Amino acid sequence: MADSCNNKTCLSRVLSQTTLDSTDVDPARTIPLHPGRKRLLSSCTSIECTEPVALRNEARVLVINTGGTIGMTLNDEVLIPQANAFVQNLRKLPLFHDEKYAQETCLFEYYGYKSLVLPLSKSKSRIVYTFLEYNPLLDSSNMTTDDWAKIGKDIEENYENYDGFVILHGTDTMAYTASALSFMCENLGKPIIITGSQVPIYEMRNDGIDNLLGALLIAGQFVIPEVCLYFYNKLYRGNRSTKVDNGSFNAFASPNLTPLATAEVDITINWDTVWRANTTERFKVSPKLNRNVGLLRLFPGITSATVRAFLQSPMEGVVLETYGSGNAPDNRPDLLNELKEATNSGVIIMNCTQCLRGTVLKDAGLIAGHDMTPEAALSKLSYVLAQEDLNLDEKKMMMAQNLRGEMSADLAGAKLCLRDSRFIQVIAKSLNISCKEGSNLSLGDYDGRTPLHVAACEGNLKLVEYLLGQGATVYAKDRYGDTPLSNAVRFRNKDVVKLLRKTGAHFSKEELDEAGTKLCSLAANADLDGLEIWSLAGADLNKPGYDGQAAIGAAQTAGNQEVVAFLGQLLSKKAEQSKVM
């Protein structure tokens, strides 16, 4: 390591000065790297003078590669997915990977060899992205609900290690997967962005480069807590999108909802359109889906025998695609009779329009799908019918509710978001304030500090509750990389820590790595309060510090039996809690 270096910005120099206790670091001075990475860096001989550590603001994105045209190559005139090729090929492209930075920061040793890092962004941040490739890679027309469940489970398993997720997927059934994931992902707080391309990324003229790059940038830079679909410079709500063109790069549309973001010269997020869970519940994936569902498109002259055959057991839920604003023939009692019989025997029938744009009117017997896409209605049925603890009426009620922004809120009688309410817009106008700004409680100040950061520092539990209920994100990071949780820990606001944890806030991988040393110092100083709060925040009490000793060892070395006993109590409490979970 270049100890003798005099350059103020030399990485090794700054690192050697960086204290291991992030809470003692003046955030304006430096952003500490976690000790794991520091250890690697200190043993890395390739380190030369480089950019200041303060610029090393990294976000992590997991890319799940399920297949699709984006990674296909031509074999005997046919496009087929190519296994184990994507990462290696991207690594050669400077647009997708900064090899110099990766070498200087020992990126591969720490994050693994399936990881790449984007060049420094305009906002001086880096996106480190790691690939998880499925085997076999699939053309999306071969996908089933089992594949959706697998994607959901992988996201759940990796949720705490990444800031956002990108799913590479074929375009043919992309809107179905996006819709299904939007329902399966409950209380989502981080972006999940599905993308792909019409032309493989390896071809000279292709749309894969722009689509993947745009998806990575949005997933790594913005806390949009939705399952989205990114295509041709636009970010759509996943469950509002549909494939409309197989011969154009502009292949998707969201007929009943404006895009969540557009990527032109700048990436502009329409925050007033972003859907939020508005909950203090923790993120979880509900991977169970019911396959006894179907889409039935009415057409002039359809026979009652066809409808009867379609509605036979084991069918449990049907999306009936009717004409115009939900019309079916009113001179066909035979058809209506079939539908009525099926409903009486417990089949849930959703009424959706065949029109690309517009909504269906409420009608007796059938559940109005309002302005839902057929893809969203079908996957919602599949999700709702799999809820074993609900009876039929409760399932019907759930189908009629707006669960993830899949239908316009005012149509479903749900609570309005600011954008939907004419009343609020008028008031906002008269007060000379913008609905757009007011609707995003996750916007930060110049330093990226959000209202939740401030409330967490102040220990104002009521305000924290209110902000979470209004959709504030627990994952916002300020300029120093601090989250509301790390702020609450620093200022020892125990109740706020508990509430944030309940909502799904967690330490980053770096903070967890660093925790061992912090816990040892708290133990050595007999700081019981500090130990309790770090434990509540999710730190592993058995994590060894820089000298290989865990907190309990540090307490023993200090000869403090009270601390040893206290740590013992905390450990058994944690063990009991994990048994319950």
Residues found near ligand ASN in the complex (CB under 6 A): 68-69, 139-141, 170-172, 196, 198
Q: Spell out the residues 6+ positions from residue 301 whose beta carbon is closer than 8 angstroms to its own.
A: none
Closest of 82, 49, 48 to residue 65, by C-alpha = 82
CB-closest chain residue to ligand ASN:
170
CA distances (Å), origin 187, targets 182, 375, 502: 10, 21, 12
Q: Can you list the alpha helix ranges (DSSP code H) found in 159-286?
A: 174-184, 208-221
Q: List Cα–Cα distances, 68 to 178, 200, 500, in angstroms.
A: 14, 9, 38
CB of 174 to ligand ASN, least distance (A): 7
Rounded to whole angstroms, the Cα distance separating 552 from 516 reads 11
Would you list the DSSP string of 55-99? G-EEEEEEEEEEESGGGEEEETTEEEE-TT-HHHHHHT-TTT--H
Question: Residue 181: helix, strand or coil by DSSP?
Answer: helix
Q: In the complex, what is the shortest distance from the CB of residue 242 to ligand ASN, in angstroms, rounded to a whole number? A: 14
For residue 197, which amino acid is it? Answer: S
Element of type H or E holding 231: strand 227-231
31 Cβ partners below 8 Å, 6+ apart? 53, 54, 56, 57, 480, 481
Q: Which residue number, 176 or 475, has a Cβ lying nearer to ligand ASN?
A: 176
Nearer to ligand ASN by C-beta: 196 or 369? Answer: 196
Query: 378 or 456, CB closer to ligand ASN?
Result: 378
CA atoms within 13 A on the CB side of 521: 11
In the complex, least distance from residue 230 CB atom to ligand ASN, rounded to whole angstroms: 14
What is the smallest separation between the CB atom of 75 and ligand ASN, expressed in angstroms? 15
A 10 A CB-CB count for 129 gives 29
Sole residue written with tokens 């799908």: 369
293-297 β-sheet, strand order: 293-297, 317-322, 348-353, 367-368
β-bridge pairing 242-243 and 78-81: unpaired
Nearer to ligand ASN among residue 198 and residue 440 (C-beta): 198
Rank residues 68 and 152 by Cβ distance to ligand ASN and give the closer one.
68
Q: What's the CA gap between 397 and 388, in Å, rounded?
A: 15
Please report where in the chains the tokens 């309990």 appear, as a residue. Answer: 552
List the one residue out of 281, 295, 369, 360 whose CA is nearest residue 325.
Answer: 360
The least CB distance from residue 433 to ligand ASN, in Å, is 43
Minimum distance, C-beta of residue 237 to ligand ASN, in the bound complex (Å): 20
Other CB atoms within 10 A of residue 538 CB: 19
Task: Tell me how far, at minimum, the Cβ of 64 lies from ligand ASN, in Å.
Answer: 15
Cβ pair 476, 450 in contact under 8 A: yes
140 is in an annotated binding site: yes
CB-based contacts of 197: which residues, under 8 Å, 6+ apart?
A: 68, 69, 70, 171, 206, 207, 208, 211, 212
- The residue behind tokens 């409760």 is 394
Whether 171 is catalytic: yes
CA angle 208, 213, 217 (to 5 degrees): 155
| Residue 172 and residue 142 in contact, taking contact as beta carbons nearer than 8 Å | no
The CB density around residue 26, as the number of other CB atoms within 10 Å, is 8
| Closest approach of ligand ASN to the CB of residue 234, in Å | 17
- Sign, CA dihedral 395-399-405-406, equals positive
| Residue 322 token pair | 């009717």
User: In the complex with ligand ASN, which residue's Cβ is closer, 69 or 402?
Assistant: 69
Q: Are 225 and 277 in contact (CB under 8 A)?
A: yes
Q: Which is nearer to ligand ASN, 12 or 173 (CB)?
A: 173
Q: Which of 171, 242, 450, 503 is catalytic?
A: 171
**50 in Cβ contact with 10 (< 8 Å):** yes
**Distance of closest approach, residue 68 Cβ to ligand ASN, in angstroms:** 4
Name the residue nearer to ligand ASN (CB basis): 79 or 120. Answer: 79
Q: Quick one: 201 or 269, whose CB is closer to ligand ASN?
A: 201
Confirm or deny that 171 is annotated as ligand binding.
yes
Q: Indicate the annotated binding residues for substrate.
A: 140, 171-172
Catalytically active residues are 171
Q: Indicate the annotated binding residues.
A: 140, 171-172
